[in-house]
Chain A
Amino acid sequence: MNDTRSPLQSFLIYLGAFLILVWSGGPFIWQFSTSFQLDKALTSGAPSLIPHPFTLEHYYNAFVEKELHRYVWNSLVVALATTLLCLIVGSLAAFALSRLNVKGRFGILVVILSVSMFPQIALVGPLYLLATNLGLLDTYTALIITYLALGLPLVTWVLFGYFETLPREIDEAARMDGVSIPGLLWHIILPMSLPSLVTTGLLAFISAWNEFLFALAFTSNIDRQTIPVGIANFTNLYYVPWGDIAAASAVVTVPLIVLVLFFQRHIIEGLTQGGVKE
């Protein structure tokens, strides 16, 4: 294919690729650069990509004045617990659907997937009342229970897709050797599915880490508020602290980007297999 390309075609392809790169990376690079610039430089009317003078003032403000680390801690607790639960509950369900001859399993999968399309705003009111009655407002528990259900459809769907690719002869051989059903899952299927577990875990983690609506509704103080709520409330009385916001954005986004770039191949495979099959 390569040799049939004219110089113009090659040029257009590289130009297109460059534009995609700028599109994807440009805005965040500017945000990152902003986080190291003085307010004075940001409002001078002559923006520069290289911070000059370089400052860590915004990071100081974000952590000392706005106590960003407390939001980070809350987000970590909630997102890690959600990930763990999603993987446990999701792999049990996906295993049952893939290996145990459940009747109407595709119907069940479609129902599970369509749940993830429900408008979340339709869930938040009744769940808020429920959480109030159970005394669960301003707790990690309320967020974790909610995020488990929100993450479960995708996790189940992707793990199911992966389990389906494992040859069934393994099951039969294991059954012959007298391995029980839970043994089959625990000793054979799960160890073979580690790459998929890592990807789905990452997906569950990202969705919990980024969730805003329920965190906004269910929590009202910094003891339990997660990062998105914290950043949304990052305002000063008389002006918008763009530099501080940029610093906070960098702190919560850079680790995600590193994780995602590290696992990118698996993520794309996992998601596309879940999203568009057939």
Chain B
Amino acid sequence: MTAAATVPGAGRPQRFGKTLPSGLWALLLLAPAFVSLASVSFYPILNGLYLSLTNTSLITQDQDFTGFANYTQLWGDAQFWNAWWHTMWFTFASTTLETVIGLGMALILFEAFKGRGLVRAAMLVPWAMPTVVTSKMFGWLFDGQNGIINYMLLHLGLIDQNINWYGSTSTAMTTIIIADVWKTTPFMALLLLTGLQTIPNSLIEAARMDGAKGWITFWYIRLPLLMPTLLIAGLFRALDAFRVFDLVYVLTGGGPADSTETLSTLSYKVLFSTLQFGYGSAVSTAMFITEGLIALVFVALLIRQIRRAQ
């Protein structure tokens, strides 16, 4: 048996590659990536969808199908809507600031000046730093008692007493937005810079010949041509901001008094503190749906932009 089986197979290994059609090779080479993404991304999404229709809880050990009960509860859950609004505000504020400031930085970097390489390299520092470290670092910078930010503002005469930045309900969300803007703006600027560099220089030269001032060429030539890049970069940034977890969880844990609770931190608490996997999955599914809607808005803007260009 064994002898018979090995003989026809003996010459095969070398010929294997040559005889297998390229279609089969493609499948074979794509398979590991598909298995990985299917099991770690698609399966959990579908499973989460199913869990959100059950009352699964690791405490009571329940696992019964309850239809849309979780979603009905969610609709009337003030904590959920509180987190929903915070997340939307955070996404809107940080994406807008990052795009505007990032564009300003990109325009500066677009000019030739001494030390440009150094500045560009330094801009990768906030991006490379672990978010948890950023969070702790801002905890220290914005510390209510000994933080350097309070110290500087006091000595510049901008405030007359220390601000309890992330310890008070009125300023905590702002502090988190500042931390996020710090971390992601430089990277945004680098993305926009590549967009700027693809705009043909001849267009700007021609406008200049016609006597157009700097800001006119910016407003009528560079900005419209940069629009698609701005929208795509904004889309990715918004989707990423919407998922914010590390910054909030480490800096404030959603507090004080839920004033910085976002959808990710709320889901995490429902899942891992109360162990209600059914209800927690409903929260994260609602989040998934909201994120899809945000993406749709951007795609619609992008399509309109492309149509207008034609």
Instruction: Give A residues with C-beta under 8 Å from B.
Output: 1-2, 10, 13-14, 16-17, 20-21, 23-25, 27-28, 30-31, 34, 42-43, 45, 47, 88-90, 92-93, 95-97, 100-102, 108, 112, 115, 117-130, 145-146, 148-150, 152-153, 156, 178, 180-183, 206, 209-210, 212-213, 216-217, 227-229, 231-232, 234, 240, 242, 245-246, 249, 252-253, 256-257, 259-261, 264, 267-268, 271-272, 275-276, 278
Q: Does B81 contact A (CB under 8 A)?
A: no
With both beta carbons as reference points, the residue of chain B lying nearest to A132 in the complex is identified as: B58
* A122 to B185 CA separation, bound complex (whole angstroms): 26
Please classify how large the interface on chain B is, using the bins under 10, 10 to 19, 20 to 34, 35 or more: 35 or more
B36 touches A115 (CB 8 A): no
Instruction: Give B residues with C-beta under 8 Å from A.
Output: 16-18, 20, 22-23, 25-26, 29-30, 32-33, 36-37, 39-45, 47-48, 51, 104-105, 108-109, 111-113, 115-116, 118-133, 135-141, 143, 145-146, 148, 151, 182, 185-186, 189-191, 194-195, 228-229, 232-233, 236, 239-240, 242-243, 245-246, 249-250, 263-264, 267-268, 271-272, 277, 280-281, 284-285, 287-288, 291, 295
Q: How many A-B residue pairs have CB under 8 A?
A: 287
Q: Which residues on B sit within 8 Å (CB–CB) of A130?
A: 43-44, 47
Contact A25-B122, Cβ < 8 Å, known A101-B22, A127-B44, A260-B128: yes
Q: Which residues on B sit within 8 Å (CB–CB) of A128?
A: 271-272
A123 touches B44 (CB 8 A): yes
B112 touches A24 (CB 8 A): no
B121 touches A261 (CB 8 A): yes
Q: Which residues on B sit within 8 Å (CB–CB) of A256?
A: 128-130
A212 touches B190 (CB 8 A): no
* A210 to B122 CA separation, bound complex (whole angstroms): 19
Q: Which residues on B sit within 8 Å (CB–CB) of A240?
A: 139, 143
Q: Which residues on B sit within 8 Å (CB–CB) of A275?
A: 191, 232-233, 236
Can you pick out 30 interface pairs between chain A and chain B where the beta carbons lie within 8 Å of each other? A10-B113, A20-B123, A20-B186, A23-B182, A24-B123, A27-B138, A93-B32, A96-B25, A100-B22, A100-B29, A108-B30, A121-B284, A125-B281, A125-B284, A126-B44, A126-B45, A126-B281, A130-B43, A145-B40, A212-B130, A212-B249, A227-B132, A231-B130, A231-B136, A234-B136, A253-B133, A264-B121, A268-B194, A275-B191, A275-B232
B51 touches A125 (CB 8 A): yes
* A125 to B130 CA separation, bound complex (whole angstroms): 23
Q: Which residues on A sit within 8 Å (CB–CB) of B285?
A: 122
B17 touches A182 (CB 8 A): yes
* A227 to B129 CA separation, bound complex (whole angstroms): 12
A122 touches B287 (CB 8 A): yes
With both beta carbons as reference points, the residue of chain B lying nearest to A1 in the complex is identified as: B112
Q: Which residues on A sit within 8 Å (CB–CB) of B243?
A: 119-121
Q: Which residues on A sit within 8 Å (CB–CB) of B236?
A: 117, 275
With both beta carbons as reference points, the residue of chain A lying nearest to B17 in the complex is identified as: A180
